[in-house]
Amino acid sequence: MRRLKLCFALIAAGLVAAPVQAQDLELDLEEMAQSVEAWAAENLDEDALRVLREADREQVNRFFTELQKQLHGEYVLDLAGLKEAARAVLPLLERYEETAPYAAWLKPRLDYLEVADQLVLKLPPPRVEPGQPAPPRTNPPPALQQEIWVRKLAREPWPAPAKSYVPQLKPIFKQAGVPPELVWIAEVESSFDARARSPAGAAGMFQLMPATARQYGLRTTWPLDQRVKPELCAKAAAQHLAYLHRQFKDWRLALAAYNAGEGTVRNALKRQRAGSFAAIAPRLPAETQMYVPRVEAVLLRREGLSLDRLSLPPKPGQS
């Protein structure tokens, strides 16, 4: 009964964006309740959230759980329904030092929700056949998403920390054999805030998951988590991007794998019998569908370069 009440609270709060089919209602509510509690228990740092009032903590738990669900879901447009909830949660997280890393993670992700809201207005609703349930909206193509991102970024200055970090970190990317312009993924991941920590466990300016960070020699246990060190985090991120580019021979696919995981991208390419990001984008998680066009829009805005025009730096000893 407690789980059922929790699910109704989620629906009443407007946090469940996807419609539930009537014949699946009971099963979906039970499964959703279990996943809400399990995900929050396994991923959210209860010690950090304990500074919040009980009601605020419950609100944050619900929001983060639903946000993770939608970021990893199929439909980009479903993210639009979380915009107001995100705006309500962010001040709660900013209020305390303990929850500030979550706030630093959430801030750049508000842009996903706002762009999804704009995409809803761009795409006509699907045609509904008489007597049939409304089909889900199709996912917007990467080109349309990039157009919206470019328009949004045209009004936004550099993140304040970027002024010192970009020249400092570009040589690290270059040394790893990665185009130094890709340092700007830190704007997408964290707005160059080294404190950022995701509810799923990614941390640092480049949002490395623990397993990935350890793969490149970083410690990830508190209080010695080296992902919060900008230079170390940048080096591991650049090495990982170099590896992914060697695997996929394409920066859009490499970036998709950086966000969603190498296996997710490989499986999508295999299932679709495709070789490009555009061909598999509708089959990737919603966040990844938006991530690659967003990174490219940032590069266009900050460096005047598209992903197609990135050049690998010369290897040591080459002129």
- Give me the CATH number covering residue 204: 1.10.530.10
Dihedral of CA atoms 145, 148, 149, 153 in degrees, nearest 10, equals 180
Tell me the three state secondary structure of residue 208. Answer: strand
Neighbours of 264 (CB within 10 A): 18
pTM of the model: 0.85
Task: Clarify whether residues 150 and 117 are in a common domain.
Answer: no
Q: Confirm whether 159 is domain-assigned.
A: yes
Same domain, 58 and 105: yes
If you compute the radius of gyration of the chain from its CA atoms, what whole number of angstroms results? 20
Residue 202 placed within a domain: yes
User: Considering 58, 91, 122, which residue would you say is the last residue of a domain?
Assistant: 122
101 shares its domain with 151: no
Residue 91 falls inside a structural domain:
yes
Q: Based on the domain organization, do 116 and 171 belong to the same domain?
A: no
- What is the tens place of the pLDDT at every residue in 156-215? 999 999 999 999 999 999 999 999 999 999 999 999 999 999 999 999 999 999 999 999
Shared-domain flag, residues 69 and 106: yes
pLDDT tens by residue, 263-313:
999 999 999 999 999 999 999 999 999 999 999 999 999 999 999 999 999
Instruction: Give the chain's mean pLDDT.
Output: 87
For the chain, where are the alpha helices, taking DSSP H only? 2-12, 25-43, 46-49, 54-71, 83-94, 100-122, 142-153, 162-175, 185-190, 210-215, 230-248, 251-260, 262-272, 277-280, 286-303
Per-residue pLDDT of 242-273, as tens digits, reads: 999 999 999 999 999 999 999 999 999 999 99
Q: Is residue 318 part of a domain?
A: no
In a domain, 66, yes or no: yes
Tell which wins on pLDDT, 29 or 106: 106
Q: Do both 105 and 206 map to the same domain?
A: no
Residues 283, 172 share a domain: yes
* Judgement on whether residues 117 and 184 belong to the same structural domain of the protein: no
- On whether the CB atoms of residues 271 and 283 are closer than 8 A, the answer is yes
How far apart, in Å, are the Cα atoms of 87 and each of 107, 124, 234? 9, 26, 29
Whether 80 and 179 map to the same domain: the answer is no
pLDDT score, position 39: 67
Q: Are residues 87 and 212 in the same domain?
A: no
135 lies in some domain: no
Determine the Cα–Cα distance for residues 107 and 89; give it in Å rounded to an integer. 11
The answer as to whether 249 is a domain residue is: yes
**Structural domains in the chain (count):** 2
Check residue 43 and give its pLDDT: 78
Same domain, 37 and 167: no
For 204, the domain range is 142-309
